[in-house]
Structures are given as C-alpha cells and as structure tokens.
Amino acid sequence: MVKINENYLKLPGSYLFSTIARKVKEYKEANPAANVISLGIGDVTLPLPAAVISAMHRAVDEMADKSTFRGYGPEQGYDFLRNAIAENDYKARGVDISPDEIFISDGAKSDSGNIGDIFSADNVVAVCDPVYPVYVDTNAMAGRAGDYDEKTGMWTNIVYMPCLEENGFLPQLPERRPDIIYLCFPNNPSGAAATKAELKKWVDYALENGSVIFFDAAYEAYITEDDVPHSIFEIDGAKRCAIEFRSFSKNAGFTGTRCAFTVIPDELKIGGVSVKSLWNRRHTTKFNGVPYIVQRGAEAVYTPEGREQTRALVAYYQSNARLIKSELAAAGFSVSGGVNSPYVWLKTPDGMTSWEFFDELLEKANVVGTPGSGFGPSGEGYFRLTGFGSAENTREAIERIKAVFCK
C-alpha cells in the first residue's frame, strides 16, 4: 500500500500563523462590530514603490508584444536582477559575490524551507529558541527533527539555543555540535541584532566544526546600527561555511508579489562537493523561476528612485516599531527589539502566558499580535508586535493596549 510521509503526522497543530488567522477569523465572526487591528504576522501594508510599479507596467507591455514576449526564463533568475543584487547588496558593501552565486526565488520562506532537500536527513540541526517556525517544521517534515515532545515543546533531535533576556536574546555556542545552524539576524521574532564580532564567533565555530550556517537576512533593511553586518558574507571565512537568504518582502513590500534570493558561494564545499551545484540541480528541477514582470519590479528597487522609495517604506515601519517600543516601555512594559528590526518583543505582564496575553489582547483591546511561545519554548511569556501596520492603527493599538493593561 502507498505510504505517506509519516513525519507530517508528528507535527503539532497547524502552522503558527494559520492558527492565529483562524482564531482571529472566529473572533471576527462572533464579534462582527469589532474593529480588529493586526500587528501579528509580519505583513506589509503600504503599496509597492512607484518605481517598482512603473517597471512592472513596462514589463507587462513587453509581454503583450510578440517581439518582446518572454516564456520560461532562466530558473536561477534573469541576469539583470542577479547583476543588480551582486552590485548593490554585496559589492557596495565590499563583499565580492558573483551573480552566478545568486538564485532568484519566490521567497526566503520557501528557500529556507527547501534548502534541506540537498542535505542528508541525519544531520543535526541547531536553531535559536525562539525561532521562525519554518526552520523547525521543515526539518520535522524531512525527518531530521526526531519526535515532538509535548511536555517541553521541543523536538528530540533538534539543538535549541535559548535566546533570553539574560543573554541579550542572542544564542550561545551549543554544547552538542550541530551540522546545520540556522541564524536569523536581525532576528525574527525577538528583533535582536548580531554585531560583527558576534557573527564572527559563529563563522569561526562553523569552520572549526565543519558545520554550515543558514543565515536568514530577510530583515537586513531595518539595520540602523553601524556594527551590525547586513550580510554574513561581511565576515571573513563565511563564504566557506554559509548560505544566505534575502527577500524583497520586508524592504520593498513584496510579501504578495513574491521575490527573494539565496546566495551560495562557490567556495562552499562539503566533502569536495559544491553546495551551489546541488542547489542549482534542485532549483532547475523543481522551480520554474520568478515571473519576468516581478523580476523587473525587483530590479527597479535598485534604481535611484527605487532606493529612495524603498528607504521611505522601511523608515515608515521603523518609526512604527520605535513608537510601539518607546510607548510601551514608558507604560511600564519590558520591551526589546525595534531598533534594527520591525519587531518589538515584549514580556507579557503579570506572568501571563503568551497565549493568555494573545486572547486577552484580542478580546479586550481587539489587537492581534503573535504569542512568543508559538516560536518555541523560550518564547513563553513573550509577545511579538510588528511595525508593519499603518501609523494610525499602530497608535490606536498602543492606546488600546495601555488602556487595558496599564490601569
């Protein structure tokens, strides 16, 4: 008889953001008059930059003309976009990445989830705790996580690196040697950022131990501090031990438009095998490329107008995050993040669990956030709010939170 992938049966409940969406939908159905403000999932609310829209309009017109129409494009992405990324995201920061080390894709979520395809199922994986749930769930699906322990909320084969207040929400080197280390900086969910010295510690560790770092830099546009690298490849030696995931979602508003990229340097070899060549094999086999129109839109992010408009979008969300942080701190909440990140990480008041706070916030303030425990056991007692709402809704949500919890 046909067999299913039984690893899926081990997954607890549904994907975090689907659970939240369901709860919010149920609440709205039961309370149709409620004006619910979402500061939950990290989804942008402002439209795409004008430069991106114009470029996509031009690309649509090209698709309407026989002489400029395009069918399948290169799976790895068009040269115009790979060149623009190499030039602007890397060369401009003193990092030498060649366009053919860049793979255009439809999302950092997909790539950070799919990258496991090219690594053996018996690798030991380490994640920060709390963690973006995609890293854990996709390893569980691949059979790399062992079994889920309901009591601890942990998978038996995953190495969890607690990121707590006492360590500045930064992971410490693990006692058990992992083969694969997921790092996300600026961090989702805590908003913590890693300095150059901090990242060097991880690159040195990976090189000494023969591990690979999967570095998720989806939030690099939010970095405001000088000693925080935008790319892991700013660290010497990283090209021999790291893969980087980037996205146009959080900087240029592509959450619904879908465009991202993954960088795998030629120097990254395992047992003499080029990791880039394996990913190229996977990508060309399982993926047909991002639409031409979308890639032209992404290319426009790097034009002078596109850069300015993108900076304005990021500044808008940054200012929301700063406001959430400063207002809630002034109201007596313990808050972090929000400096190099659109995410603010707050400690739940009065020892409430993350989900208790979620329910109370939804019911009494009609505000949606993300429970910290949904990101892992060390997230218990924490709560994530995003700066991605509108400025008006953000202000309104802050006032409502204060009215309910700061009597």
387 near ligand MLT (CB under 6 A): no
246 near ligand MLT (CB under 6 A): no
Q: How far is the CB of 370 from ligand MLT (least distance, A)?
A: 7
Please list every residue from 82 through 111 that binds ligand MLT, using CB under 6 A: 109
Instruction: Scan for tokens 């709390």, then name that residue.
Output: 130
Q: Which stretch binds ligand MLT (CB under 6 A): 6-14, 37-45, 50-58, 205-213?
A: 37-45
221 near ligand MLT (CB under 6 A): no
Burial environment of residue 351 by CB neighbours within 10 A (0 to 12, 13 to 18, 19 or more) = exposed
DSSP of 51-107: HHHHHHHHHHHHHTSTTT---S--TT--HHHHHHHIIIIIGGGT----GGGEEEES-
Q: Which stretch binds ligand MLT (CB under 6 A): 41-49, 64-72, 84-92, 392-400?
A: 41-49
Nearer to ligand MLT, 59 or 108 (CB): 108
Please list every residue from 120 through 149 that binds ligand MLT, using CB under 6 A: 132
Which pair of structure tokens corresponds to residue 338?
């929000």
Neighbour tally for 67: CB within 10 Å: 5
Burial environment of residue 234 by CB neighbours within 10 A (0 to 12, 13 to 18, 19 or more) = middle
Indicate the DSSP class of residue 234: G
CA distance 189 to 198: 18
Task: Give the one residue of 20, 37, 39, 41 binding ligand MLT; rule: CB under 6 A.
Answer: 41
Q: Which stretch binds ligand MLT (CB under 6 A): 35-43, 221-229, 231-239, 349-357?
A: 35-43
Q: Which of 330, 300, 322 is nearest to 386 (CA)?
A: 322
CA distance 88 to 183: 23
**382: three-class secondary structure by DSSP:** strand
Task: Give the one residue of 187, 188, 262, 303 binding ligand MLT; rule: CB under 6 A.
Answer: 188
Report which secondary-structure segment, H or E, holds 108. helix 108-114
Please list every residue from 316 through 375 that binds ligand MLT, using CB under 6 A: none
Count of residues of this chain found to bind ligand MLT when the rule CB under 6 A is applied? 6
Q: How far is the CB of 96 from ligand MLT (least distance, A)?
A: 28
Indicate the DSSP class of residue 370: E
Contact 203, 242 (CB under 8 A): yes
Q: Looking at beta carbons, which residue is closest to ligand MLT?
A: 42
Q: How far is the CB of 245 from ligand MLT (least distance, A)?
A: 11
Q: How far is the CB of 56 from ligand MLT (least distance, A)?
A: 21
Q: Which stretch binds ligand MLT (CB under 6 A): 38-46, 149-157, 226-234, 290-298?
A: 38-46
Burial environment of residue 205 by CB neighbours within 10 A (0 to 12, 13 to 18, 19 or more) = middle
Q: Which stretch binds ligand MLT (CB under 6 A): 40-48, 143-151, 160-168, 270-278?
A: 40-48
42 near ligand MLT (CB under 6 A): yes
Nearer to ligand MLT, 41 or 344 (CB): 41
- How many residues comprise the chain? 407
Nearer to ligand MLT, 17 or 205 (CB): 17
Neighbour tally for 208: CB within 10 Å: 10
| Longest Cα separation, the chain | 67
Nearer to ligand MLT, 24 or 235 (CB): 24
Contacts with ligand MLT by CB under 6 A lie at 41-43, 109, 132, 188
